[in-house]
Amino acid sequence: MYRDMQQWTDIRRRVLHEGVSKREILRETGMHWTTLDKILEHSQPLGYRLTKLREKPKLGPYVDRVRQIISQDKQIPKKQRHTAKRIFERLQEEGYTGGYTVVKEAVVEIKRTSGEVYMPLVHRPGDAQVDYFFALAKLGGVLQKVAIFMMALPYSDGFFMMCVPRECTESFWEGHVRAFAFFGGVPGRISYDNSKIAVRAITGVHERKLTDGFLQLASHYLFDSHFCTVRRGNEKGLVEGTGGYARRNFLVPVPELADFEELNAYLLERCRSDLDRRLRGQAASKAELLKEDQAAFLPLPATPLDACRKQAARANSLSVVRFCGNDYSVPVRCAHHEVTVKGYWDRVVICHRDRVVAEHERRWGKAEVVYEPRHYLPLLERKPGALDHGRPLQDLQLPESFGVLRRRLENERGHQGTKEYIAVLRLLEKHTTGRVGAAIEKALVAGAPTVDVVAMYLHPDEPTEPGTFVLAGRPQLQAVQIAAPRTESYGDLLHAAVTP
């Protein structure tokens, strides 16, 4: 390639403008006459041009075979596709006698020139795309892989994301409910991949049999759904690209937070702050474009979807209910009764006769048992021997004052003292451990460690000394008038009893 642009320009000016002869230029520069003709014909160097492809006599007969292997690999998972080395080895088995480098260069060139070509799409206001991506987070000191639900708006480039333990129907519902609330409306059309959460069966290129869970969501919010062609994730490329952006910018370094609640609060704030960004080529910020999206949204329903999976169950003789392979306790009064289990992405709520009787943090392991010790306290009155051996009670963390109270009661009253202590424990059904512990300490100091005295100290307006009753703080009793007793009335009764 001729690189001296200054000489190129000088020669053109001298010959074409000043009239210097070509022979003079050739004599001065010593260049070939064909080079001079190129300079005079073109205003700038053309660079090196290959007139015909170089022949590859050894690889040539096998180029089509290489293309065939690469084409077939597109139907195979990436981790199981041919490497250039493996293609080279297969060609050798078929008679190829050339070197490895020329095969590797051919593989690179064929893959580069046979890549997919996509049509740029127009994005209208009111559309959305949904996907999950995965990342690492340290929650409560434990490093774990978490799933992140994301909904993105192609028109405004706004997005919402929420971190959940697993990709499941409950988290899918909850993600939509929170996203719709964040955006202030329901997108009219939402694009999805072919996740089993939404798709029960693929019956054609664009035909799908949808799951009942997805249909419940669509029925509640009335949006249209679009499912991408199989292995064509580019049809919702915005949400996939946005997921990568969020992972690189919001989750690096690995966030260290207390729990999912704190992580989701952090992610929600990043979603809000990102709306102030203005992307290259856009006429306004994301927040301003979001207003046009909102104008095309469907209205939110009067009440959001209750994003839980409901299941009828029966509490067994151990007063536990099974849900998704794990057991959760209920109050012993519900044992052997029919209950309704509501499984949310983060908690399990158990209802009996339209009343919530238990709520637990949801577990995602297998064969786990979650006890609430307070559920079993009424059972101790009939089975006091379970006080030291009951499995649910092993998780009951009590202040030291409880142990002091028990030892004192049992030393003074024996078995009756154990029953008195159990009666004190039952106060935990309505009061916190801290409040009951403080009341026990006061009762111990007063020298009257009984359930009645402990219960009295639980009332914030009770006096510091037991056994004293005052009307202060009880306006409902201050208006009550009680007449003074008359001892004469007793004499009248005695006289009436002896009178014939």
DSSP 62-97: GHHHHHHHHHHHTTS-GGGSPPHHHHHHHHHHTT--
Q: What is the mean pLDDT of residues 392-407?
A: 91
Query: Which of 47-51, 124-128, 445-449 has the lowest average pLDDT?
Result: 47-51
Give the count of alpha carbons within 13 A of 45, CB side only.
12
Q: What is the 3-state secondary structure (H, E, C) of 234-277?
A: HHHHHHHHHHHHHHHHHCCCCCEECCHHHHHHHHHHHHHHHCCC
- Alpha carbon distance 378, 384 (integer Å): 10
pLDDT at 202 over 50: yes
pLDDT at 430 over 60: yes
Alpha-carbon Rg for the chain, nearest whole angstrom, is: 40
Q: What are phi and psi of 339, to 5 degrees?
A: -135, 165
With cut-offs at 50, 70 and 90, classify the pLDDT of residue 474.
Answer: low
Cβ(133)–Cβ(310) below 8 Å: no
Q: What is the mean pLDDT of residues 215-228?
A: 94
pLDDT at 167 over 90: yes
What per-residue confidence (pLDDT) applies to 464?
A: 44
- Alpha carbon distance 60, 234 (integer Å): 34
> Letter for the amino acid at 240?
E
Separation in Å, CA 372 to CA 334, 335, 360, 391: 14, 14, 8, 11
Q: What is the mean pLDDT of residues 91-102?
A: 93
DSSP SS3 for 293: helix
pLDDT at 484 over 60: yes
Which residues lie below 8 Å from residue 399, measured CB to CB, with a gap of 6+? Answer: 433, 434, 437, 440
Q: What is the mean pLDDT of residues 379-399?
A: 90
- Alpha carbon distance 62, 336 (integer Å): 74
pTM above 0.75, yes or no: no
Domain boundaries of the chain, sorted by first residue: 5-41, 60-113, 127-296, 309-370, 378-476
Pick the residue with more confidence: 1 or 239? 239
pLDDT at 120 over 70: no
Query: Regarding beta strands 127-139 and 189-192, do their DSSP bridges make them parallel or antiparallel, or are they unpaired?
Result: parallel
What per-residue confidence (pLDDT) applies to 470?
A: 58
- Alpha carbon distance 312, 305 (integer Å): 19
pLDDT at 19 over 50: yes
pLDDT at 305 over 50: yes
Cβ(349)–Cβ(324) below 8 Å: no
pLDDT at 122 over 90: no
What per-residue confidence (pLDDT) applies to 315?
A: 95
What per-residue confidence (pLDDT) applies to 402?
A: 93
| Concatenated DSSP letters of 9-73 | HHHHHHHHTS---HHHHHHHH---HHHHHHHHH-SS------SSPPP-TTTGGGHHHHHHHHHHH
Which residues lie below 8 Å from residue 236, measured CB to CB, with a gap of 6+? Answer: 129, 130, 131, 191, 192, 193, 228
Query: What per-residue string of b and e applies to 293-332 under the rule 16 or more CB within 10 Å gives b?
Result: bbeebbeeeeebbebbbeeebebeeebbbbbbebbbbbbb
Instruction: Indicate the Cα dihedral angle 326, 427, 395, 311, nearest 10°.
Output: 0
List 358's β-bridge partners, or say none: 350
Separation in Å, CA 249 to CA 244, 270, 275, 320, 435: 9, 10, 15, 44, 45
Selection from 131, 43, 61, 142 nearest residue 98 by Cα: 61
Q: Is the dihedral of CA 463, 467, 470, 473 positive or negative?
A: positive
Tell me if the bond preceding 253 is cis, omega within 30° of 0. yes
Q: Looking at the domain that runs over 127-296, which CATH code has it been given?
A: 3.30.420.10
- Alpha carbon distance 116, 11 (integer Å): 46
Q: What are phi and psi of 225, to 5 degrees?
A: -120, 150
> Letter for the amino acid at 420?
E
Within a 10 A sphere around the Cβ of 241, how many other Cβ atoms?
Answer: 12
- Alpha carbon distance 263, 132 (integer Å): 16
- Alpha carbon distance 155, 239 (integer Å): 12
pLDDT at 477 over 70: no
- Alpha carbon distance 455, 458 (integer Å): 5
Tokens of 254: 């690995």
Give pLDDT tens digits for 124-152. 899 999 999 999 999 999 999 999 999 99
pLDDT at 231 over 80: no
> Letter for the amino acid at 323?
F
> Letter for the amino acid at 192?
Y
Q: What is the 3-state secondary structure (H, E, C) of 154-182?
A: CCCCCEEEEEECCCCHHHHHHHHHHHHHH
